[in-house]
Chains A and B, each alone.
Chain A
Amino acid sequence: MHGLTSSVDDNYLSDEHRMLRDMVREFADNEIAPVAREFDREGKFPWGNVAKMAELGLFGIPWPEEYDGAGMDVLASALVSEELAKVCPSHAITVGATISLAASPIYYFGNEEQKQRYLTKLARGEVLGAFGLTEPEAGSDAQGTQTRAEEKSDHWVLNGTKIFITNGGVGEIFVATAVTGRRSNGQKEISSFILTKETRDLEEALAVGTGHAVDLEYTPGFTHGKKEDKLGWRASDTTELIFEDAIVPKENMLGERGHGFKNFMQTLDGGRIGMAAHLLGIAEGALEQTLKFTSERRQFNTRICDFQGIRFEIADWLTRIEAGKHLTYHAANLRQAGEPHSKEAAMAKLYCSELANWATVKAVQFHGAYGYTTEYRVERLMRDAKIGEIGEGTSEVQRMVIARHLLGPETTPEKEDA
Chain B
Amino acid sequence: MRIIVCVKRVPDSESRIAKAKDGLSVDTQGVKFVLNPYDEYAVEEALKLKEAAGDGSVSVITLGGEESKETLRTALAMGVDEAVLLKGQPSVDGLGTAEKLAEAIKGREYDLVLFGKQAIDDDNLQVPAMVAELLGLPCATVVTELQVDGGAVTATREVEGGHEIVEFELPGLIAAQKGLNEPRYPSLKGIMQAKKKPLEEVDAGDAESRLEVVEVMNPPVRAAGQIVGEGADAVPELVRKLRDEAKVI
Chain A partners chain B: yes
- For B186, list chain A residues within 8 Å (CB): 19, 23
B63-95 residues with Cβ-Cβ distance < 8 A to A are 70, 73-74, 77
**Residues in chain A within 8 A of chain B (CB atoms):** 1-3, 5, 15-16, 18-20, 22-23, 26-27, 56-58, 60-61, 70-72, 298
A23→B192 CA distance, assembly (Å): 13
Neighbour of A57 across the interface among B30, B74, B188, CB < 8 A: B188
Answer whether A2 and B14 are a contact pair too, CB < 8 Å, given A18-B70, A22-B34, A26-B185.
yes
Are B191 and A16 within 8 A (Cβ)? yes
State how many angstroms separate the Cβ of A77 from the closest Cβ of chain B: 11
Mask, B184-220, CB within 8 Å of A = 1, is 0111110110110000000000000000000000000
Known: A19-B186, A23-B191, A26-B185. 8 other contacts (CB 8 A): A3-B32, A5-B30, A5-B31, A16-B192, A56-B188, A57-B188, A58-B188, A72-B188
Q: Label chain B's interface by main secondary structure.
A: loop
Provide a sorted-by-A list of 5 A–B residue pairs whose CB atoms are within 8 angstroms.
A3-B15, A5-B31, A19-B73, A20-B191, A22-B74
Neighbour of A3 across the interface among B14, B74, B195, CB < 8 A: B14
Are B188 and A70 within 8 A (Cβ)? yes
- For B188, list chain A residues within 8 Å (CB): 20, 56-58, 60-61, 70, 72
Mask, B98-129, CB within 8 Å of A = 1, is 00000000000000000000000000000000
Closest to A17 in B: B191
State how many angstroms separate the Cβ of A293 from the closest Cβ of chain B: 15
Closest 7 CB pairs of A and B: A70-B188, A57-B188, A1-B14, A19-B191, A23-B185, A23-B186, A3-B14
Are A19 and B187 within 8 A (Cβ)? no
Scoring A19, A70, A298 by chain B CB atoms within 10 A of each residue's CB, the highest score goes to A19
Please tell me if B163 contacts chain A, counting CB pairs below 8 Å: no
Are A3 and B12 within 8 A (Cβ)? yes
Please tell me if B16 contacts chain A, counting CB pairs below 8 Å: yes
- For A72, list chain B residues within 8 Å (CB): 188, 192
State how many angstroms separate the Cβ of B28 from the closest Cβ of chain A: 11
B14-34 residues with Cβ-Cβ distance < 8 A to A are 14-16, 30-32, 34
Are B194 and A56 within 8 A (Cβ)? no
- For A22, list chain B residues within 8 Å (CB): 34, 74
State how many angstroms separate the Cβ of B132 from the closest Cβ of chain A: 31
State how many angstroms separate the Cβ of A400 from the closest Cβ of chain B: 37
State how many angstroms separate the Cβ of B85 from the closest Cβ of chain A: 14
- For A19, list chain B residues within 8 Å (CB): 73-74, 77, 186, 191, 194
State how many angstroms separate the Cβ of B31 from the closest Cβ of chain A: 8
A20→B70 CA distance, assembly (Å): 13
Are A57 and B185 within 8 A (Cβ)? no
